[in-house]
Each structure stands twice: as structure tokens, then as C-alpha cells.
Amino acid sequence: VDPTIDILQADGSSLPTAVELTYSPAASRFENYKIATKVHTNVINKNVLVKLVNDPKLTNVLDSTKQLPITVSYGGKTLSTADVTFEPAELNFGTSGVTGVSSSQDLVIGATTAQAPTAGNYSGVVSILMTLAS
């Protein structure tokens, strides 16, 4: 818990603890999972830094050598383990009617694969770290 900043769903509820990525054999790709979010903060004049805690991947639960990279973007910017900076003006604090709440920003999670994955059940974790710049 950070008492100065959090990311919540656009309706104010917590982010889901699990999501399911659907693979389309017809399109030979995973469908992206997209969720509308808003940043809630009591410090609206500092840049917001967003990054992944680690490089996320889907791993076949029966064969851990079979892995697929996961791509994550927030507010249209691709995330990595390096900080991605969002200026207060980009997040449009206050446009929601509440001073410390940003405009809606899409969080998009997807898996990338150049070829059809090996059949199986895949699991992975995406950990996002959001902080205020000092």
C-alpha cells in the first residue's frame, strides 16, 4: 500500500487478481486483455512512474521450458522493467470531477508468439509498480 498513489479500475474498484488471455486458433494469436483504469493520488503535481517488476511470461504448467513473452502497456505506452514517465498533464487529473483522479487509461496485457504455442495450460504473473517521481 502506498498512501500517495494507486491504480484502480475506472469504476473505483481494485484491479482483478487474475485475468484470462484467450488464444484464437483461427487468428493464430492471443487476444489482448484490456481494462480501463484511473490513477488515484493526493499529489497531482509530480510525474508518475510506471514499470514492470520483472519481465512477465506465460509458462506451460506441465513443461516449464515452454514460455511465451507477455506484453503490457499502460496509457498507450509499452511497459518494461525501466520506468516509463507520465506527466500530470498526460493523466488529466481532475477531468473525472475529482481532483486526484486521472482520466481513464487503458491497461493492456497480451501474449506474443510468432507461431502457434505448444498445447497446454499456461500461467504467468504481471507485477506493475507505480510510484511518484521525487
Q: State the CATH number of the domain containing residue 19.
A: 2.60.40.2040
Q: Domains in the chain: how many in total? A: 1
In terms of pTM, does the model score above 0.75? yes
Long-range contact list for 14-22, CB < 8 A, 24+ apart? 15/107, 19/109, 21/58, 21/109, 21/110, 21/111
Confidence label for 114 from pLDDT (cuts 50, 70 and 90)? confident
Model confidence at 127: pLDDT above 80 = yes
What range defines the domain where residue 76 resides?
A: 5-129
pLDDT digits (tens, 9 = 90+) for 9-68: 999 999 999 999 999 898 888 999 999 999 999 999 999 999 999 999 999 999 999 999
